[in-house]
Structure 1
Amino acid sequence: MPEPSRPTAIAHLPTGQMEYRLDRRGDTVVLICHGGHVRAGLAVGEESFAAADATILVPSRPGYGRTPLTTGTSVERYTGVVRELCAHLGIDRVAAVVGISGGGPTAATLAARHPDLVERLILVSAVGWLPYPGRWTRLGSHLAFSAATERLTWAAIHALARRAPGRCLRTMLRSLSTRPVDDVVAALRPHDRDKLLALFTQMRSGRGFLNDLRPTPDVTARIDQPTLVVATRTDGGVPFAHAQSLAAAIRRAELVESRADSHFVWLGADWPAIAARIRAFLDLGPPAIT
């Protein structure tokens, strides 16, 4: 059975409606900009922050979950609404904003536009400002995730995950790794297989994914916060060149190369070492003992 979607709340702000999840723990706040096909209720790539006792704030980006597209059709406008959400929740500083995959441009723009709010930036398997995606991927996305087809596309994927899990993993991971997909699936640990299948049974695109494909102004030259860029060369979803470009363009950035087999770097065997590097970057100390 998939892990249930976590409870979320709605903030009715002067600039728009925002769905969010706030998991309160310690005093350190980490704000996560999720990737494509994901919303605030799905916890993806958060375990290292939770283990370090950080409070996690995850807003649903425009067009995902219960955040309407009108809240921020542009990344610039949306980051202003996120700033307003933080004020609404009594958060005046975040230790880091984390951009995962398609949430990379949002996280980077939030850091660039609101340096008084954001202390550090972490980009994980993140889309940058190189041309993206390729022509055929873009065309396929418009066919599979349009308003008319998105629900049917995900209904088919959800059914495949339940009825033919191995086939579902191969189908989904084929485009997320440059390695032979059978090797990638065979290398997954049982609990990682379960995590991926749970995720694939709950993903939706809404109107958000196609909005993510719209161009947004490159803000990398304006980012002055310390930045970690984490990526793997075998990412088939977001080419490693995006990480290299981000690390080169952001003046205080460090590139941390993962050895993971796919876009999901937190499933890699070297993730514990990378998570420790992230904790040191955030000065969060050792992980909690459970």
Structure 2
Amino acid sequence: MRRVLRPTTVAKLAAGQIEFRLDARGDGVVLVFHGGHVRAGLALGEEAFDRTILAPSRPGYGRTPLSRSIEDYCDLVAALCAQLGIDRVAAAVGISGGGPTAATMAARHPDLVERLILLSAVSFLPFPDRLTRLGSHVAFNAVTERATWAGVRTLMRLAPDAGLRFMLRGLSTVPSGTVLAALSDEDRAALVDLFTHMRSGRGFRNDLRPTRDVTAQIDQPTLVIATRTDRGVPFAHAESLASTIRHATLVESHAHTHVIWLSPDWPPIAARIRAFLDTA
């Protein structure tokens, strides 16, 4: 079974502390910003990039403390790249809630970031809706988030199919039973492994803070990939990113869920990503 949990390292730089994972896989480096409830140690959908992966934990996740601003954090990531001897990255990748960070990284450090890839990514539209925001402050605050994820882990251990149905309801507009039936045993196991290792820390509530829209400042070639059946991040976010970033191309996935790399059409999309990374 594919295991999502990988070892990480902590760098203590003049600009601050940051947790990261560096997986050497090939020529070139892709800088991956994962989404909500996910830290650097969780590897998600990265095989498509066919490059060395640098995945830092975003502020409040894992062992990366909260930053004063998203701009300060992006400067810290740039300092980490310099410390590691990385002077160019083939792409900054923003997955889900990591979208605004990847976009800000591209806008703020164009000499470092050659391309931008946004997967099921949050845009700069208002997000999430009011009801979800209120629920998040209840379930994922500093007191409750540990208990919330302990409950998820217990459910995944005792009744994994029921646990997957429960979690998938928030990730797809398709009935969760239909989504579950379409998943292979390997994909089900990967999702159980993912949900078992998720934590919010102080990061998810930090993600709910508004972020300055930098799309007008992005000049790099950009791929925006999303599915219309994503309940976690509505397709309108992909449409907004594709329409406001100058050199953006929108690729529509036919995945049933927010987790678009667990879909029958992911192999051709992954091939398109690799071709995009190979362009001069």
- Normalising by the residue count of structure 1, what TM-score does the alignment of the two structures yield? 0.94
Paired letter, 1:47: E
Residue of structure 1 equivalent to 2:238 = 243
Residue of structure 2 equivalent to 1:75 = 70
2:262 is the counterpart of 1:267 = yes
* Aligned ranges 1:71-220 → 2 under 5 Å: 72-220=67-215
In the alignment, is the contact (CA less than 8 A) between 1:62 and 1:73 conserved in 2?
Answer: no
2:28 is the counterpart of 1:28 = yes
What stretches of structure 2 of length at least 5 have no aligned partner?
none
Residue of structure 2 equivalent to 1:253 = 248
Paired letter, 1:66: R
Q: Distance in 1 between matches of 2:162 and 2:134?
A: 24
Q: Distance in 2 between matches of 1:35 and 1:63?
A: 12
2:55 is the counterpart of 1:58 = yes
Residue of structure 2 equivalent to 1:18 = 18
> Shift in Å at residue 73 of structure 1?
3.7
Alpha-carbon displacement from aligned partner over 1:242-265 (angstroms, at most 9, x marks no partner): 000000000000000000000000
Paired letter, 1:153: T
Alpha-carbon displacement from aligned partner over 1:51-84 (angstroms, at most 9, x marks no partner): x2x1100000011001111xx2421111000000
Paired letter, 1:189: S
2:47 is the counterpart of 1:47 = yes
Q: Distance in 2 between matches of 1:283 and 1:154?
A: 39
Q: Distance in 2 between matches of 1:2 and 1:45?
A: 11
Q: Distance in 2 between matches of 1:283 and 1:14?
A: 34
> Shift in Å at residue 181 of structure 1?
1.2
Paired letter, 1:242: H
In the alignment, is the contact (CA less than 8 A) between 2:4 and 2:43 conserved in 1?
Answer: no
Q: Distance in 1 between matches of 2:4 and 2:180?
A: 24
Q: Secondary structure of 1:211's match?
A: helix
**Structure 1 stretches of 4+ moved >6 Å:** none
Alpha-carbon displacement from aligned partner over 1:9-30 (angstroms, at most 9, x marks no partner): 1100111100000011322100
Q: Secondary structure of 1:267's match?
A: coil
Paired letter, 1:59: P
Alpha-carbon displacement from aligned partner over 1:120-168 (angstroms, at most 9, x marks no partner): 0000000001111000000000000000000000000011011110111
Work out the number of aligned pairs and report it.
279
In the alignment, is the contact (CA less than 8 A) between 1:2 and 1:197 conserved in 2?
Answer: no
The percent of aligned pairs where both chains have the same amino acid is: 70
Q: CA RMSD in A?
A: 1.2
Q: Distance in 2 between matches of 1:179 and 1:199?
A: 20
Q: Distance in 2 between matches of 1:6 and 1:177?
A: 27
> Shift in Å at residue 2 of structure 1?
8.4
Q: Distance in 1 between matches of 2:20 and 2:124?
A: 26
Q: Distance in 1 between matches of 2:222 and 2:4?
A: 32
In the alignment, is the contact (CA less than 8 A) between 1:103 and 1:126 conserved in 2?
Answer: yes
What stretches of structure 1 of length at least 5 have no aligned partner?
285-290
- Normalising by the residue count of structure 2, what TM-score does the alignment of the two structures yield? 0.98
